[in-house]
Structures are given as C-alpha cells and as structure tokens.
Structure 1
Amino acid sequence: MTARVLVVDDLEPNVKLLEAKLRAEYFDVLGAYSGQEALDIASQEKPDIILLDVMMPGMDGFETCRKLKANPETMHIPVVMVTALDQQADRIVGLEAGADDFLTKPVEDLALFARVRSLTRLKMMTDELRARYATGKDLGIVGNIDPDAGADEARIFLIDDNDEQAARMISTLGVEAHHVTHESDPEVALNRAREGDFDLILVNMSIEAMDPLRLCSSIRSFEETRLTPILAIVRHGDTRKLVRALDIGVNDYVTRPVDKNELTARVTTQLRRKRYVDQLRSSFQVSLEMAVTDQLTGLYNRRYLASHLSAMFDRAYWTGRPLSVMILDIDHFKEVNDSHGHDVGDRVLKEFAERISNSIRGIDLACRYGGEEFLIAMPDTDLSFASVVAERLRQEIASQKFHLNAGRDELTVTVSIGLASTENGPEDDSAQKLIKRADEALYTAKTGGRNRVIQSAA
C-alpha cells in the first residue's frame, strides 16, 4: 500500500532520515519544517497521514495538531506524533490534542510502518465517504457534519478472560461515562459482538482461550462489525503482536499497565471518528434516497422507475409470469390548485401517495410518474387481479374525502386509471411499450368520463 506522508520536524536531518525510510517502503513523502508550513501543506496537498514532531520553535506540535483537527478540511487526516518526549503526561496531551498516536523516539521502523499503513487504510475509507458526502452537499441534499454531535454514553464491549483485569478496566473506563459489557469467553464474545451493535470493542491481546489475533480477525471479517473500531490492550514491548494486530485491522492500542488518562483519550478518539464515519455513511444513504425518491410524496421517482422497471420486465419475460402496470391520474387536479392553492394541492398529492402505499404489496413498485400522475408496477400479477386492485383503489379514493385545514374542510377527489400487462403484449414487447399501453388506457379513461379503470386493448 502506498500513501502520501507529510513529515514535520524543524530539524532537516530528522525529516531526511524519516523520508529515506518511508521512501524505501514506497511511500510518497512531503516535508515541512514548521507548524505553519505543515498547516499550509496539509491544506493544499491533503496528505494521507502526518508524522509530527512536538518540540518546534514558534508553533509546537501540540498546537499544530489542534489546528489540523479544528479545520474541517484536514480534521480527517491521521496525525502521529513522533518525538523525543517520553513522559506519560506529554503522551496524554498529544492524544487529547487529537493525535491518533504518540510514538517516542527512537521508534522501531516495523511499528512505525505498521501504524502508517493502518491509519492510511482508515483514511482511504474515510476519503471515499467524504467524496460522496461532498457531492450530496454540493447538491444541497445533506447538511454539515459535526463529529461531536450525539456524544452520549457509548456502548463498549470488553473481551477479556481475566475477570480481575476486566474489572479494573471497567473501573478505568468509568461506568458513568459509558455502558461497558464484558465477556470472558471468546467464542461467546464473537456472537455477542455481532448482535450487540457496539460503538467500540476492546480486546485483551493476552487472552489464552483463543488466539487474540484470530479473534480480532474474525470480528473484522463479520459484516455487522466490519466498521466497528477495535482497541487492543497489549503488553509493553510486545511489538510483534502489535504489528500483526494493526495489519489485521485493529484501529488503536493501549499498553499495560494501562494509564487511565491515556485510555480515556484513545477511547474518545475512536468514538469521535466512529461518529464522524457514521454521519458520512448516513449522509450518503440520504443522498441515495434523495436521488431516487420524490421529495414531496416519498415515493420513488421516474429515475428509479427507469432503472428498475426494465429489470422487472426482463424477469417477467424469463419466468413467464405476468407483469402488470397501472398509471393513475388525479382528475381535474388543476382545478384543485386553482381553487385552493398549490399548498392544498401538495397535501392532496402527499395523502394520495400514502393511500397508494397502503394499498399495494411489498413487491410492488410505486412511483410518482410526473405531476399528478403515478405509476404502480405489479410483478407476478395478471390483468384480472390488477383490475381488482385498481378498482378497489379507485373506489377508496372517491369515497374517502381528503381533509384540509386541520380537518375543517373536505375535498372530494377521483382518479382515472389505465392498466396494461405483459399478458396481452406484442412479441417485441418492452417495458416502455408496456407503459405506453397503460398510458393509452389512461387516456381512454380520461376521455370516457374519468373516475374509472380501463384495461389496455389486446
């Protein structure tokens, strides 16, 4: 895996040394020699990861990291502090500033490269979601994202077969801050992880009942937990296991003996990133739904119909089962708008769509075809059964008045419906021809007096 790495240090030899090591591993390297230069390059070049020294004149690494994480354009870029500072207090300050890791010089190359690869993988996944989010935001479909929104009590799952250690860990995490679930049996833990919808999973890498690396690999392979962050608890100096864990997909780690402040900072970072990614995924889902649904009625739109009706038609052709289509048109809808206003017209369209949704099956496809026209595609449905459904819907629309102005006023609405089916289609039938036949039947219903159901001619 290649990535663009920004190395920040006020001493040029340190930058050149790291650059040489990283280039030997096929990373693309950028250099910066001050905090401000790092901010400028990060904003312009959008590196995949930043290796940041702490002790720099002017703006130190802590302040640089805070500014990187405060900027919406760079907040998602992972930051690893690589410094000669070796005090626990410095490590905690760095993590609380937003750093993803804090490595003390001299750093083992194996551990550094594993951390860079691990964080780069996470960054690339986030980049894809960010690109989709940016498209939705440009179109005005989604709003701004706030990673700190909804920072309520998190659901944390602790997997540790040492009950005494687990009790200390739960106490360290703080039962008031988070809801912690503990499981000592790794086999049981796998099932509970899939079913629990947890925000974070902590794994003791000294578990004896199962290979902890295999446990983490299994958690990462399940669809339900593929994106759930995993924080490993490793013995100090166990670099081999740590490197393997990061390569498998573990997001972060804390070493024993566990410092409460460091654990809190790392847990906070993972939960904040999860909220950010969850919001990105949610906005993408909203963008998809907005792209294929009609904003007023909530039914699918014509774009969705175009892509799915052909597939429904092909299935009907290959299985030999009929596909029926009905097109519905609200009678004299222009008069509703002219007499009562477009707001009333919109409410009629919304309630009309709700009645359609309540009258069809789960396998049917209902969409707003345009204006006051709606289309329902009914797979595995012959013309006679479709006629029964259409007539029932027509009667329901005509008999149940539409309520306006909080129920103070009532409006009678009728609908004309045209039906067509693959049963009576030509040999060279197609989805578009099926729609055309239903539309012709609708035209006959409209010209024949409205408020009626007409089947297409064979």
Structure 2
Amino acid sequence: MSARVLVVDDLFTNVKLLEVKLTAEYFDVVTAMNGPDAIAICEQGLCDIVLSDVMMPGMDGFELCRRLKGSPTTAHLPIVLVTALDQPADRVRGLDAGADDFLTKPVDDTALLARMRSLIRLKAATDELRARVIGSRTLGTNDPFVAATVETGQNGHVLVVDDRPGSFERLKAALGAFHTVEVESDPHAALLRCAEGGIDVALVSLNLRDFDGLRLCGQLRSLDRTRDVAVITLAEVEERARILRGLDIGAADFLVRPIDRNELIARVRTQIRRKRFTERLRESVQSSLELAVTDGLTGLHNRRYLDVHFDALFKDAVRRNAPIAVLLLDIDRFKSVNDRFGHDVGDAVLREFATRINSLTRGVDLVVRFGGEEIVVVVPEASLQDARMVAERIRERVCGSPFQAGPAGGLDVTVSIGVAARQAGDRTPAELLKRADIALYQAKGGGRNRVVAEAA
C-alpha cells in the first residue's frame, strides 16, 4: 500500500535515513525540517501521514501535533511521533496532543512499517467520505471537520474481551471513570455483543484460553455490523509477531502488558475520537444525499428522485408484467391563494397538502413534488381502478375540511387529479405521466375538484 509520507526532523541525516527506508518500501516521501514547513505541506494536502520527531527547536513534535489536530483542514491526518523519550508519561503526552502513535528510538523498521500501513488503511477508509463532505458541506457549527477538532473522546462504550479476572478488573477500573465498560469472557458472545451495536472500542486479549484472539479480530473486521468497532489488542511484550499480525488483520492499536493506566486511557480516547469523526462524516454524506433528493418545503421527494426511482419501478413492473399506476395532482386555483394571501400562506397550504396526501398513501408508494403545486404519486401493484380509488380518497381528504393556513385562517382547497396505468405498449414511465397529464387537463376543464382516469 503506497502513500505520501511527510517526514519531519530537524536533523538532515535522520530525514535522509527515513526517506531511504520508506522509499524502499514504495512510499512517496516529502520532507520538512521544522514545524511551520510541515504545517504548510499538510494544509496543501500533500501528504497522507505524518512521521515527526519530537525534539525539535522552536516548534517541537508535541506542538506540531496539537496544531495539526486542532485545525479542521488537517485533523484527519494520522500522526506518528518518534523520539528517544521512553517513559510512559512521554507516550501519554504525545497521545494527549492527538498523536495516533508514539514510537521510541531506536525504532524497529518492521514495527514502524506495520503501524504506518495500519494507519494509512484507516485513513483510506474515510477519504472517500471526506471528499463527498467537502463537495457538499455547508460551513457552520454542524461542520464535521470543525466537530473533529473539539471531540473529547469521552463517554464511549468499551467492551473488554478478556478471561483473566485480575486483568479485566484493572481495565474496567481504569476506564470506568470515563466510559461505559462491559466485560465479556466468551469471545463468541463478544462477537454477538458487538454485532448488536453501540460498542465503540473492543479491547481484545491475545491470551484467551482455548481461543485465538487474532481470530476474533479478523471476525470483527469481516462482518458488516462490527467492522466499524475499533479494535485494540492486548498482548505480552514477547508477542511482537502476533501484535504485528493483529495490525495487519485490521486492529487499530495495541497495548503491551503491563499496561500503563494513563496510556490505556489515552489510546482508547484516540480510537473513540477517530470513530466518531468517521460517523460524523457518514452522517453528513447521508444528510447531503437526502437534501439532494428532498423538497425543502414539503419534505417530499423531488423530481430528481422521481426520475431515478420511477424508472426503476416501471422496469420492474414490465419485467414481472405487473400493474403500476401514476396520479398527477394539482391544487385548484392555487395562484389565487398566493395572490390574495401571500406566499407564506401558499407555502402553508402546500405543506398541509403534502401531509394529507402522505396520510393516504403506502410506504411503497412514491410521493414526489413535481413542481409548483403539482404532486406525483406512483402506485406500484395498482390497476387503473385501484389508482382511481386512491385518487378519490385523496380528493375527498383535501376538500373535506379547511386548511389551517396561518393568518388566513381556514381555507377551502380542492384538487384535480389525473390517473393513468401501465398499458402493454408502454415503453417508458414518461408515457404514463403524459396520459396522466392529459387526464389532469381534462379534470381541470371539466370543472375542477374531480378525478379523471386514463385519458386517450
């Protein structure tokens, strides 16, 4: 897996050494000798991961990390800090600054490359979501990139998978002050619990009795319902090969026993922040998709949605030789409502119109604001007679009681409806809509407040 790695170090020999090693592993390498230059490179989107020394003059690695993670433009970049500092407090300081990992010199090349590939895979999983959000987002308090910079990573839901009471009790005690913690000794039950949803992080012991913890990691990564759970493996110091294998399988991080309490808290917090960032991106994309196919005034689907889904419903009906019908509805004399009472009242009438139609249609029916005061209802599995009955119910519901339209009080509203059903010779849904439009025109010409079905 290739990626663009930014190497940051104030010593030229260190930069060149890492550049040679990474280039040999087919990474593209860019370099910076200080923090400000590194920030400039990151803000231009010229790297996928940052590998930075800690001890640098001016802006050290901790401060560089804080600034990158504190900016909506660069908060998504994975950062690995490399230093000669080897105390747990130093690792925690780096993690608190927002680093995704903290490696101590001399760095084992295999461990470094495994960690980098793992972080790059995690980043790649969110890059497409980020691109879609960037293309459609609106700046403001709901901006997911801004939210990422203030996310605390607290109040998560953690599942500890460990069958040694002394071990899981210490883990639960350390994390319980910040998160909801569950313990599951049975790996099969743990998998089912994660599949139920709501788990942010799973701490998986690689020393389970009668079960390979790496297999559970692989299962969590492979299932649709569990692949978003962040997995942190727990291992003994001599299990280096299994730790690296876990990263290769898809574990997000690891902890080596004896586990430092503060490092445990910091690494879990980092994974929760990352998971929530991805969830916000996904929600933002979904919201953008909904806005793209939803009419903002009525809450109904819009014409773009109709163009795609009516075509699919029509083709399915043709394939199965099944009936399908369409209703085209138009509020009678709607222009006079706007002229007499203003567009605010007209908008209120349209919203109530949509609500009454929705109350008489099924979940499988397609209800769309076609334009202005016109609404289209596509009724699958409906004959012409069935569709006419639906149209009559809607007409009666619309004219049956006044519309409460704000200052205008109760307004009497009627609707004309044209109905058409699929015929054997129809090749496109446009032919149904054309006949429904002609029928609607006849309903208008015949006195309004009526249903006309299947005009020639």
TM-score interval (norm. to shorter): over 0.9
1:49 touches 1:78 (CA, 8 Å); kept in 2?
Answer: yes
Q: Deviations over 1:192-240 (max 9, x none)?
A: 1100321211111211231111101101111111112111112224221
**One-letter amino acid matched to 1:221:** S
TM-score between the two structures when normalised by the length of structure 2 = 0.96
Cα 1:190–1:386 shift into 2, 3 Å: same
Q: 1:156-195 alignment to 2 at 5 Å?
A: 156-173=158-175, 175-195=176-196
- What does residue 84 of structure 2 align with? 84
- TM-score normalised by L of structure 1: 0.96
Change (3 A) 1:151 1:49: closer
Residue of structure 2 in register with 1:384 after alignment: 385
Q: Secondary structure at the match of 1:223?
A: coil
Task: Give the AA of the match of 2:228.
Answer: L
Question: Does structure 2 retain, via aligned residues, the 8 Å contact 1:141–1:287?
Answer: no
Matched with 1:234 is 235
Structure 1 segment 3-402 matched on structure 2, within 5 A: 3-137=3-137, 143=143, 145-147=146-148, 148=150, 153-173=155-175, 175-402=176-403
1:45 offset after TM fit, Å?
A: 4.0
* 2:436 is equivalent to residue 434 of structure 1: no
Q: Look up the equivalent residue of 1:153 and give its one-letter code.
A: N
Q: State the Cα distance separating 1:333 from its structure 2 match.
A: 0.8
Contact 1:142 1:286 survives alignment (8 Å): no
Shift of 1:267: 1.2
CA distance in 2, matches of 1:40, 1:151: 27
Residue 9 of structure 1 deviates from its aligned partner by 1.0
CA contact (8 A) 2:153 2:270 kept: no
CA gap of 1:345–1:411, structure 2 versus 1, over 3 A, is same
Letter aligned with residue 434 of structure 1? L
Distance between the aligned counterparts of 1:234 and 1:350, measured in 2? 59
Match of 1:306, SS state, is helix
Q: Distance in 1 between matches of 2:348 and 2:139?
A: 25
Q: CA deviation at 1:426?
A: 5.9
State, as a whole percentage, how many aligned pairs show the same letter.
52
Which deviates further from its counterpart, 111-120 or 194-203?
A: 194-203
CA distance in 2, matches of 1:139, 1:13: 43
Q: Is the 8 A contact 2:152 2:273 kept in 1?
A: no
Aligned residue pairs total: 454
Task: Quote how far apart the aligned CAs of 1:139 are.
Answer: 9.7
Residue identity opposite 2:84 in structure 1: A
Quick one: which amino acid aligns to residue 3 of structure 2? A
2-side partners of 1:259 and 1:327: how far apart?
A: 68
Provide closer, same or farther for how the CA distance between residues 214 and 49 of structure 1 changes in structure 2, counting only shifts above 3 A. same
Most deviating of 29-38 and 318-327 = 29-38
CA contact (8 A) 2:154 2:269 kept: no
Give the 3 Å change call, closer, same or farther, for CA 239–7 of structure 1 in structure 2: same
Q: What secondary structure sits across from 1:146 in the alignment?
A: helix
Q: CA deviation at 1:405?
A: 2.8
The secondary structure found in structure 2 opposite 1:224 is coil
RMSD: 1.8
- Contiguous gaps of at least 5 residues in structure 2: none
Q: Please report how far the alpha carbon of residue 297 of structure 1 lies from its aligned counterpart in structure 2 after TM superposition.
A: 0.9
**Are 1:141 and 1:290, in contact at CA under 8 Å, matched by a contact in 2?**
no
Give 1:135's aligned amino acid: G
CA distance in 1, matches of 2:369, 2:137: 25
- Deviation of residue 429 (structure 1)? 3.3
Specify the alignment match of 1:445 in structure 2: 443
Is this contact kept in 1: 2:295–2:301, CA < 8 A?
Answer: yes
Aligned partner of 1:337: which letter?
N
- How has the CA–CA distance of structure 1 residues 142 and 124 changed in structure 2, closer, same or farther, with 3 Å as cutoff? same
- Letter of the 1:456 counterpart: E
The one-letter amino acid paired with 1:102 is: F
Cα distance, 1:126 vs structure 2:
1.8
8 A contact 1:136–1:142 mirrored in 2: no
SS of residue paired to 1:102: strand
Structure 2 residue identity aligned to 1:399: G
Residue pair 2:426, 2:432 contacting (<8 A) in 1 also? no
Q: CA 1:435/1:142 → structure 2, altered by over 3 Å: closer, same or farther?
A: farther
Matched AA of 2:169: A
Offset at 1:149?
5.3
**For the residues of structure 1 that align with 2:90 and 2:298, how far apart are their CA atoms?**
56
Moved more, 346-355 or 133-142: 133-142
In structure 2, C-alpha distance between the alignment counterparts of 1:176 and 1:353, rounded to whole Å: 49
| 1:273 counterpart SS class | helix
Given residue 79 of structure 1, which amino acid in structure 2 is its aligned partner?
A: I
